[in-house]
Structure 1
């Protein structure tokens, strides 16, 4: 992994989320092992990539209007993400493995949500809040994926300072 120093706060948050999702392992009470299978910003995968795996993408939708230029020095709002998980095949019930991986990812995000709620003054790695969608599982279709997969929308709340986008959260 490349060392970006200094690191923009958003990238710092995305890396922390990646590390958190890599704790999805049987040793931590999950059904899957994603310790080496969580990626950021990748939308293309091939036969050499691990299964199961998870990709964290920034959502292409921005429901919030952009502020007018020159208004304020900070941004408090959402970072909308789209998590996409890929799983092995089940011929009879193709989306069942996707449902299982989706449940593990939701469990990990729920645990993160609890950590944030238990220490509101010490925001978890700069994340002040998290909203988790219900997700959707899809069978392999040859167009998007050759294996079953899920999509899960996640919204992170954080504050960014446009005068210092490299400021990392205080420990």
Structure 2
């Protein structure tokens, strides 16, 4: 990776879609919004600033976890994919459906994704891991870079939201929620 990490704090695409989804996400919106921008920031950095697929990344990041709220399900990848594909059709963007589906489907994959658009899918996958682990997994980023991003885009309760949803959607059992997420969401 070359160049300085450019922190992205706003996007017309992200803001318009989040406005549509605000009633569904409710009070969790500020934390989810900043999660999206942290992952977008890291993704574009991992793509070395190549913005060829920026809109696809923006759209998928808005929808990548949305099934947690829309379907109240810990197995949320498929509902999230379907929501992204529906938005793509509704807005007439003509984005590559295979790319949208792959980014969402594989964003929790532990090892490298090998398939079409691997560079984009892996950039988002690595970026989500950086943010989901609060910088414990950095994929080559320096601790100071992660700290700068977190300072500009604070969590605003996002990690607590994930814990709450995992517990609530598993019938009040945090352990069952975490096991469900591991078995149904994370890909090896």
TM-score calculated relative to the size of structure 2: 0.34
TM-score calculated relative to the size of structure 1: 0.37
Structure with greater strand percent: 1
Which has the larger Rg? 1
